Amino acid sequence: MVDKVYISETGDYEGREVLLEGWLYNKRSSGKLRFLLVRDGTDIIQCVVFKGDVTEQTFEIADKIQQEASCRIIGTVKKDDRSPLGYELQVKEMEIIASSEDYPITKKEHGVDFLMDHRHLWLRSTRQHAILRIRHEIIRAAREFFDRRDFVLIDTPIFTPNAAEGTTNLFETDYFGSPAYLTQSGQLYGEAAAMAFGKIYCFGPTFRAEKSKTRRHLTEFWMIEPEVAFNDLNDNMVLAEEFVTHIVKSVLKNRKRELDKLERDTTLLEKVEPPFPRLHYKKAAEILKNCEEDFTFGDDFGAPHETLIGEKYEKPVMIHHYPAGVKAFYMKRDPEEPEFALAVDMIAPEGYGEIIGGSQREDDHDVLLGRIREHNLPEEAFQWYLDLRKYGSVPHSGFGLGIERTVSWICGLKHVRETIPFPRLMQRIYP
């Protein structure tokens, strides 16, 4: 019996007869030859059908097979240095499993909406393969980084009982008669877990009902959030730069082919190495001022500001010490500059904007309670969170890295919509 193999394994079968199962990606003809590019998800192989080698029936199948029809092929693996795979298949027999009439995605240009409507089929293209394999590697490397350092994985809840920071950007659901909200971040729960396990990370989908139609916004996106007891802002920045470095190096090492496929210029990615530049907010504001940007000192940075600052550096840059007023209530303030929060954002180079947001957290019970009251937040909802400051409070810090923005940056994509298999945008929830 002939061995059934994946295309990625054909190199182990040189000179031998194998059975492949897959789909027709593309084909061309030349006299008595038919060249079929067949994909099976692991790779693409050129299958050469020579009229003199096969039955009339097989040649007719090779001649008529349509794009994306599924097929079963028996043939001999031959070395072929011209092909990206290094091997081709000399076909002996071939059959169609199922046809594919008028496959909607053809070689002509399609509009983005059309492709998005056909996302379930668009995923079959080599470009989407490259992006989603890089996404997988980013996620694998991110988990590996924390697993190797003995961080405990804590899956924080998606349903949260209270609209802790207002309901504006929250998705709400009816939870057996009471409202519940979909999480925007696992951080508060991560803090509880850090007090138990010392160093933890959570990693899951998060949700924002923002009415934004920018190229950086999804309503549903994945975030990985470490939280470490006894870490201060500086420790947090060291962790963040080592983490991002590990991710970038893993992709460069394990997904070179996919980066090539995307024609990604990796010059700057190869420079990603600690230390990353660190900028006090004041310094960042000065840069904007020197660029004659329209910016008021004390404000948060918008996407254009981040782009501008990010482009000044070859590596990701960490901006720290934001004005306390523009940052969340739970951030600790610098005792020596109490108008500034011990916050840090990491801005990717090449205009990709913020990929990390983090901070040292307020660890004083009374200060935190005051902050909750100042912000008119529901005190009752924060009882458990305040408990963490009542029973053995310690300095602690953490951050969140957005997966889709990181995929955008590393792949060099203009829009976040291709970074996730089935993107959810304000006006897009199909398929």
Q: Based on CB atoms, which residue is closest to a second copy, 265 or 387?
A: 387
Give the C-alpha distances (Å, rounded to integers) separating 59 from 16, 24, 74, 238: 21, 15, 13, 62
Compute the least distance from the CB of residue 338 to a second copy, in Å.
Answer: 20
Q: Tell me 428's DSSP state.
A: B
CA distance 72 to 16: 16
Q: Based on CB atoms, which residue is closest to a second copy, 199 or 315?
A: 199
Compute the least distance from the CB of residue 377 to a second copy, in Å.
Answer: 15
CA distance 420 to 136: 10
Q: Based on CB atoms, which residue is closest to a second copy, 33 or 381?
A: 381
Q: Residue for token digits 């957005």?
A: 402
CA distance 397 to 234: 9
CA distance 240 to 332: 18
Compute the least distance from the CB of residue 248 to a second copy, in Å.
Answer: 18
Compute the least distance from the CB of residue 297 to a second copy, in Å.
Answer: 35
What are the tokens at 342? 């011990």
CA distance 169 to 188: 17
Compute the least distance from the CB of residue 300 to a second copy, in Å.
Answer: 25
Q: Tell me 165's DSSP state.
A: T
Give the C-alpha distances (Å, rounded to integers) separating 425 from 52, 206, 221, 330, 354: 53, 13, 10, 29, 19
Q: Based on CB atoms, which residue is closest to a second copy, 30 or 391?
A: 391
Compute the least distance from the CB of residue 362 to a second copy, in Å.
Answer: 13
Dihedral sign, Cα of residue 48, residue 52, residue 53, residue 59? positive
Q: Based on CB atoms, which residue is closest to a second copy, 22 or 402?
A: 22
Compute the least distance from the CB of residue 410 to a second copy, in Å.
Answer: 16
Instruction: Tell me which residue of 330, 385, 390, 384 sits closest to 357, measured CA to CA.
Output: 330
Instruction: Tell me which residue of 180, 177, 125 sits closest to 157, measured CA to CA.
Output: 180
CB-based contact 315:271 (threshold 8 Å)? yes
Q: Based on CB atoms, which residue is closest to a second copy, 176 or 292?
A: 176
Compute the least distance from the CB of residue 193 to a second copy, in Å.
Answer: 6
- What is the number of other CB atoms lying within 10 angstroms of the CB of residue 232? 14
3-state secondary structure 325-355: HHCCCCECEECCEEEEEEEEEEEECCCCEEE
